[in-house]
Amino acid sequence: MHGFTSLLLLGSCALQSVLGRPDVSRARRDGVLLQRAVTDFIATEEQIALEQLLCNIGAGGCNSQGVASGLVIASPSKSSPDYFYTWTRDSALVFKAIVERFANEYDGSLQTEIVNYIISQAKLQTVSNPSGALSDGQGLGEAKYLVDGSAFTGGWGRPQRDGPALRAITLIGYSKWLIANGYTSTATSLVWPVIRNDLTYVAQYWNQTGFDLWEEVSGSSFFTVASQHRALIEGSALAKSLGSSCSACDAVAPQVLCFLQSFWSPSSGFALANINVNNGRSSKDANVILASIHNFDPALGCDAATFQPCSDRALSSHKVVVDSFRSIYTINAGIGAGSAVAVGRYPEDSYYNGNPWYLNTLAAAEQLYDALYVWQTSGSITVTSTSLAFFRALVPSVAAGTYPSTSATYTTIYNAVFLYADGFVGKVQQYAQTNGSLAEQYDRNTGAALSARDLTWSYASFLTAAARRAGVIPVGWGGGNTAATSVPGTCFATSQGGSYSTVVLTAFPTSQTPQAGQTTTGTFTRPTVTTTLSPTTTGGSGGDCPQATAVAVSFTVTKVTVYGQTVKIVGNTSQLGNWDTSKAIALSASQYTSSNPIWSGSVTLTPGQSVQYKYIVVNTDGSVTWEADPNRAYSIPSGCDSTATKTDRWQ
């Protein structure tokens, strides 16, 4: 799979004096070094993030003792703070990332987790709690539950109306995979009834206030309303594909989109995070960046009404929110506009003294990767008066206008934005713990990890940001549907009630794997583009060098074997055999010793390519022993170097 990072390289000759830097060659060199550092970090951290995320899912996760099957704990932390609960919102966003990963590359172990999640959520919908019960739907707005799936009855900010919408979106994503692979009956009979309860809730209660995603502000939240709109649009489309309908979705969705427009503040140049509140805050909040990335659909282009990541409103809001943290965090001191900084929730935050969050810093990167994808696949970048300040922070000489991919200005902007996006991932790399652990926050003064350890949402955010950087984009939700972007001329507070049903799920059919002959599900898109870049880039030495068109990656794994056994590597690309063990690449034991049992070999791969792979042992009788899950992941470095090294231990 070829991601767009291999096509337009940061730190290349496109970083010219328009960036206003006195030492252009150094800027180029620093850009290349940043890109390489981020690529290497992702290659290492991706596997850690996936493993730690799965550790926080019951019942088999390594941090999930006593957690019911399919439930996600927010964090293993049980004190200061106690996050050992399951939140509807967090769980839905975590499984949204899992479903996207699963749909891109089939993984039976992830499918088991998804099925367990759906079964657990069907049960959770029936649990009466302080928000209410299922009979009138109000219980679906409960924020969190005990890890055994029973009600949490303590005081809390409730209801929180984003959970049902996000859960519906996640389950719709899996339903699309089922339909694409011939399992429509499973989607119809098992998954749709759970989704329908959540859609009914959204259509009935969307126009009532509730607590925001940070669980602090009671009012109308941009993130919540954007999620509700997507859920209704996507839910209606799914219903039609299942031979059913969602009339409430069709009636209410346009009014939700109409209401969403009221969050935009033209005079301030950003979307307000919360309205219908009086809390004394500026309403500058990462809430709006998260809304943008979780409602991304490349088929919608740079649509402003749905706040697509490359829309002028979303980019302007990105700048305002990110800039609000530049002067208040010590670790951001001296970092000027146009360079990445640590990103928190909102500038007035006082929780744990108010700090940057890993997931918000990653979200800032992800929005920009999303934008880059659309620009690359559409072949142009448009700068408007609304987004001009965002672009001028990166390219001071730019003017409003549309720049085709054949223009030098397009290339300059594209590379500057990519460098900016990588900078946010670089901040996470800088402040992640040495073992790759991502907590909830990192200290605004020292960068040390703070608050809940191993936050599941942090790991999910890393996985989605890394995927977008690699050009892996999940199936859209609104493209081709004019209702997705058509804003009514007048807003009405329309809502529709409905009936709710208890869904009893105990198991799913087995062996629901991709259809024969399919290597992907067809639900992901990848760009086919051309580049306007010069074929040279600047290496770490500061001199020009030819851009590597292929990289010989030396894979080394430590594995004790016996005479007659051979260690091989196999993966998801043609160079690695497309998971066919008969085409796996044999490694050499020429350096093998009893004290250092290493096997190694070289595979030629494409710069910027993201691969998944595993090591296998082929026994003397031809039988194969696989490494344990999960699949390994590695992004091939881009730049001047034509060689790279990846060292692993058998898992």
Contacts of 306 (CB under 8 A, 6+ apart): 226, 229, 230, 257, 260, 295, 297, 300, 478, 484, 485
Is residue 163's pLDDT more than 60?
yes
Catalytic residues: 212, 215
What span, in angstroms and rounded, lies between the C-alpha atoms of 309 and 289? 8
465 alpha-carbon distance from chain centroid: 5
What span, in angstroms and rounded, lies between the C-alpha atoms of 551 and 634? 13
Is residue 544's pLDDT more than 90?
no
Show binding-site residues: 156
Check residues 481 and 228 and name the one with the higher pLDDT: 228
Report the length, in residues, of the chain: 651
Closest CA to 8 of 376, 284, 368: 376
Structural domain spans, the chain? 1-55+270-473, 548-649
pLDDT number for residue 608: 81
What span, in angstroms and rounded, lies between the C-alpha atoms of 627 and 362? 30
Among the four given CATH numbers 3.40.80.10, 1.50.10.10, 3.40.50.720, 1.10.10.10, the one describing domain 1-55+270-473: 1.50.10.10
Closest CA to 123 of 109, 111, 102, 139: 139
- pLDDT more than 90, % of the chain: 73
Contacts of 488 (CB under 8 A, 6+ apart): 254, 255, 257, 258
- Radius of gyration, CA atoms only, the chain: 24
Contacts of 523 (CB under 8 A, 6+ apart): 103, 104, 176, 177, 180, 474, 475
pLDDT number for residue 90: 98
At 107, list the tokens.
């993984």
Please report, for residues 73, 169, 480, the alpha-carbon distance to residue 382 in angstroms, rounded to integers and kept in the order given.
Answer: 42, 30, 22
Show binding-site residues for substrate: 156
Helix (H, G, I), strand (E, B) or coil at 606: coil
pLDDT number for residue 243: 96
Mean pLDDT value of segment 259-263: 97
What span, in angstroms and rounded, lies between the C-alpha atoms of 448 and 63? 22
Q: Which CATH architecture has domain 548-649?
A: Sandwich (2.60)
At 206, list the tokens.
């969307």
pLDDT number for residue 552: 83
Tens of pLDDT, residues 495-539: 999 999 999 999 999 889 986 544 433 333 333 333 322 222 333
Helix (H, G, I), strand (E, B) or coil at 610: strand
Q: Give the angle subtended at the CA of 48 by the CAs of 629 and 566, to the nearest 5°.
A: 45
What span, in angstroms and rounded, lies between the C-alpha atoms of 303 and 230? 14
Which DSSP letter does residue 5 get? Answer: G
Does residue 306 contact residue 251 with C-beta atoms inside 8 Å? Answer: no
Is residue 40's pLDDT more than 60?
yes
pLDDT number for residue 444: 98
Tens of pLDDT, residues 407-418: 999 999 999 999
For 268, counting Cβ atoms within 10 Å of its Cβ (0-12 exposed, 13-18 middle, 19+ buried), the class is middle
